[in-house]
Each structure stands twice: as C-alpha cells, then as structure tokens.
Amino acid sequence: MVIIVNEVKEDDWKEFLENYDEALIYHTPEWRNFLKTVFGYKPYYLFAIDENDKILGMLPLMHIKSKIFPARLSCLPFAHICGYIGSKKLKRALLQNAVKLYNNLDANYLEIRDYANGRKFKIFNTFSTYVLELSSNPEEVWRKLDKGSVRWAIRKAYKMGVKVEVAKDMNDLTEFYEMNCRTKKEIGVPCHSFKFFKELFKNLGDFAKLYIARHGGEAIGGGIMLYYKNTVIYGYGAADPKSLKLYPYNAFIWKAIEDACLGGYRYFDFGRVSYEDAGLINFKKKWGTVEKKLYYSIYPENRRFFMENRNLMHHLGAKVIRRMPMPFYKKFSDTVFKHLG
C-alpha cells in the first residue's frame, strides 16, 4: 500500500535521491531549508511511501504568497527546472495530490517547472538551458569551445593578468554581492539580497562554491556554482560593468569547468535563458553546449500565467531601476525579490 505524506526523515530523503539521476540540488532538503529561511515560503512537499516507510516518489512544492504577483503553488521557486522524482507509476498520483492541495490553498495557479503530462495542465516553453558534457581531461572540453570567441577571450583574460580563485571568506562574498547589485541594476532588474547568498552557503555547504576573478587584486567578476551528484549548475554570475573588456566571465567560467572536470563531474549546466535573449543564447552555445528545452506546466490550463508578461514588466521597470540611487535600489530589491521566484 502506498500513502502520501508531507514529512519524511532527511536521511531517508537523501538516500532516495541518490537512486535517481534526474535528481537535482533543488530536490534536496538543503534547498528546502534555504528557501524557508530566506523567503519564509511555506513548504508542502509530497512524498509517496510504502508500508515500510520507503520513499517511492516526491514532488516538492512551495506556497508563494505575494502582493505583487498572483499567489502560486510552485515546484520550485528559484529553480530553473524542478519536477517529480521517483517511480513513474506514481507520478500521476502525486500530481493529482498537488492539484487537490492547490484547490485548498489561496493560490492563483499551480506551477511545475517540468513537463506534467496531466489533464488541464498548460505547457509552456519559453526558456532553454545549455548543457556542456564534461570529461576527466579538461583538454577534451577545451577543444569544444569556440576558438574565435570563447578560447580567445579566456586566453586574453589570463594574458591581461586576470586570476581566478575560490572564495575563502565573507569578504569575498560581500564583494560578489556588490558586483551582483551593480550588474543587475545595469540590466534593470532587482538584485538578490546579501541574506540570499549568505544563507545559500550556510544551508548548502559543499554544494555551493564561489569563484572570484581578480585583476590587480580587485574583484572584477564572480560566479556561484551549485554541485549535486554528477552535475554542476552555473547558478549566479556578476561582473563589474567597467571591467568587461578583461573578460571576467570567460575566466571564472572556464576555471569552474576545469575544476569540475578534474572533480569527476559529467555535466555543466549554464542555466536558464529566454528565447528572446539572443545574445546570451549565442554566448552559451559557443561553449560547446547542447540546448535542453525547459517545459513549465501550469494548472489550471485557463489560468493566466504571470511569467508571460514578465518581459513587458521588465521593459517598463528597467529604466526606473537604472535611475535609482544604489541604497534605495538595494532596499527596493530586498522588498520585491521574494515575489519573483
């Protein structure tokens, strides 16, 4: 007999995830704890267990209440892909339980950041991710990189004296946070709070690593990589807008890829990008990646999905955000960022 529960022992949870290659860092209890701590989202995780309390399937869900956007039940905020994990025959049962949960909550819609082949789900494909297959020999991966752009930029960065190191302390994280604020403000979008990054490392531990690119001792770029099983996800990146001619992104991304190869990882996921962002797509393709389409499933199918209108909201707000004084911009971001996951 199989029953659905909301709580399981964390050790059993972690053991269950080890049996599924498709499990991501986003499915872990560490990620749940991180989201709860930073944003105060209420988790409604669904686990299918047998009579011996063995976990057979799981669907992680968070209830996001918002005064800016419609409230939603999401699998999972701040994850570019996240869906059901477990026995295929139990997937429909857990999705049905998610629908029942949605009907009992104050939520505008249910969002699964994966393909949910159930009735009355509307499937969206407005994003892709780009994945690089790794090798134990970094030279094999190096040969996949576009010679005239990526390899050239990496060599150029090193030749100009850019050095990449793994962050060692809170000062490094503070430097990255400040660069991230400048980067996001330049784009015209809210930035992550310092608490977001601090709690990320506190909760994820060895699952997260920060690379810092320096020139003349000054931080000019950095990226946070997320590690789980055989995959590295390029989670968050930023650079000093005045230092882009030193190619900090190319420098720290290559260092992270090189280390991932030597660490035995199989895949490097460059993360989500909108089909409308041709420049970023081109950048990620030139690293020898393979496109992976991302499907998001929304219930009910006739419910308006706010992400359809994000581009319009971005264009309307970007000019205002760019003109904000930095202290005001940080406070504004701290207030609204939790609603964007």
Tell me which long-range contacts 88-97 makes (C-beta under 8 A, separation of at least 24).
90/2, 90/48, 90/56, 90/57, 91/57, 92/118, 93/2, 93/4, 93/48, 93/57, 94/4, 94/46, 94/48, 94/57, 94/58, 94/59, 95/59, 97/4, 97/46, 97/59
The confidence score (pLDDT) of residue 303 equals 59
The confidence score (pLDDT) of residue 47 equals 98
Domains in the chain with CATH codes: 3-128+296-339 (3.40.630.30), 129-291 (3.40.630.30)
CA distance 164 to 215: 9
Here the tokens at position 42 are 């209420």
Instruction: Give the model confidence (pLDDT) of 10-69 as tens digits.
Output: 999 999 999 999 999 999 999 999 999 999 999 999 999 999 999 999 999 999 988 777
List the beta bridge partners of residue 4.
48
Instruction: Give the model confidence (pLDDT) of 60-114 as tens digits.
Output: 999 998 877 788 999 999 999 999 999 999 999 999 999 999 999 988 999 999 9
Buried b (16+ CB within 10 A) or exposed e, 47-59: bbbeeeeebbbbb
The dihedral through the CA atoms of 279, 282, 286, 291 has a sign that is positive
Nearest to residue 266, comparing CAs of 290, 232, 224?
232
What residues contact residue 281 under an 8 Å CB cut-off, 6+ apart?
128, 130, 273, 275
The confidence score (pLDDT) of residue 70 equals 84
Q: How far is CA 336 from CA 36, 62, 243, 329, in A?
A: 16, 17, 28, 11
Instruction: Give the model confidence (pLDDT) of 192-202 as tens digits.
Output: 999 999 999 99
- According to DSSP, residue 205 is labeled G
The confidence score (pLDDT) of residue 312 equals 45
Determine the distance from the C-alpha atom of residue 268 to the mean position of all C-alpha atoms in its chain, rounded to a whole number: 13
314 pLDDT band, cuts 50/70/90, is low
118 pLDDT band, cuts 50/70/90, is low
Instruction: Give the model confidence (pLDDT) of 126-183 as tens digits.
Output: 999 999 999 999 999 999 999 999 999 999 999 999 999 999 899 999 999 999 999 9
Instruction: Give the model confidence (pLDDT) of 261-275 as tens digits.
Output: 999 999 999 999 999
Question: Is residue 291 a contact partner of residue 128, using CB atoms and an 8 Å limit?
Answer: yes
DSSP sequence for 50-82: -TT--EEEEE--EEE--SSS--EEEE-TT-SSB
DSSP sequence for 241-265: GGGGGG-HHHHHHHHHHHHHHHTT-
CA distance 226 to 26: 10
Q: Which residue has the tokens 């799981």?
A: 58
